[in-house]
Amino acid sequence: MLKRLNVLIVATLTALTAGCLQKETTHTLYLAPDGSVSWVVSESNVRSNETDGARRLAEEQEYIGEAILGAHGTARGLAALGPLGAVRTAVLRSERPFHVVASAEFAATDQVLERVFTEMGIETSASFVRRGDEATLRVRLDFSHPLEEHETAVSKLMDSFERFRLVLTEGRIAETSGLDVTDGTSATLSDEWLERAERASEAKSSIEFSLSWRVR
């Protein structure tokens, strides 16, 4: 696991939430051939582990109240990334434990990922190149600079960094680096890459992951 990065994430989230909400979060990024992306965040089994009944109720009602208004932390984080249009929020379950899904559309996958990792305190460069029927997304993380905690709305999205799933809207995956491919159309960061990223962080070096796919 990318321990140093996960420590940063946990510290950021603790400072931002100052509460005891528990949830299972998944991120799915739907990549289009033109480099645009639809980012969908699902938060399920959301509940507070606060032992005091009144505080637990207050914390949970604050979460679901903001979610109903489309203003909970995840929605604010997606909005801070500059989407094309408004962030959409659907409350699939309004009773404890809650289930909320938020989604947003972005013009450029590389710009979004570069912004996300930069907000995590990591110097990052990302690129998207389309040549004929082949498209390539590449993200490079540079740990040569000290990690600095950034308490921003975008940090709200980072509680499940290693669970990002990249899904193609068209085509088949041709080549990857640092990713596990599941069915030829989707991939996640591999455990081996996360281990190498941890070592890169400790050595203050760089590491990248990439995904190439053929549209036809």
Q: What is the pTM of this model?
A: 0.87
Q: Cis peptide leading into 97, omega within 30 of 0?
A: yes
Q: How far apart are CA 47 and CA 71, in angstroms?
A: 18
Token couple for 92: 């699939």
99 with 42, same domain?
A: yes
121 with 70, same domain?
A: no
pLDDT digits (tens, 9 = 90+) for 11-40: 434 434 445 889 999 999 999 999 999 999
Domains identified in the chain, total number: 2
Range from 2-16, 40-54, 93-107, 140-154 carrying the lowest mean pLDDT: 2-16
CB 108 within 8 A of CB 35: yes
Q: 191-203 and 3-17 are packed helices; what angle lies between their axes, rounded to 10 degrees?
A: 90
78 with 130, same domain?
A: no
The parent domain of residue 114 ranges over: 109-163+171-214
pLDDT digits (tens, 9 = 90+) for 33-92: 999 999 999 999 999 998 888 999 999 999 999 999 999 999 999 999 999 999 999 999
Is 66 among the domain residues? Answer: yes
pLDDT digits (tens, 9 = 90+) for 158-203: 766 666 899 999 999 999 999 999 889 999 999 999 999 999 999 9
Of 79, 106, 133, the one marking the end of a domain is: 106
Q: Rounded to an integer, what is the distance from CA 119 to the centroid of its chain?
A: 12
Those residues whose C-beta lies under 8 Å from the C-beta of residue 145, and which sit 6 or more positions away, are: 123
100 with 137, same domain?
A: no
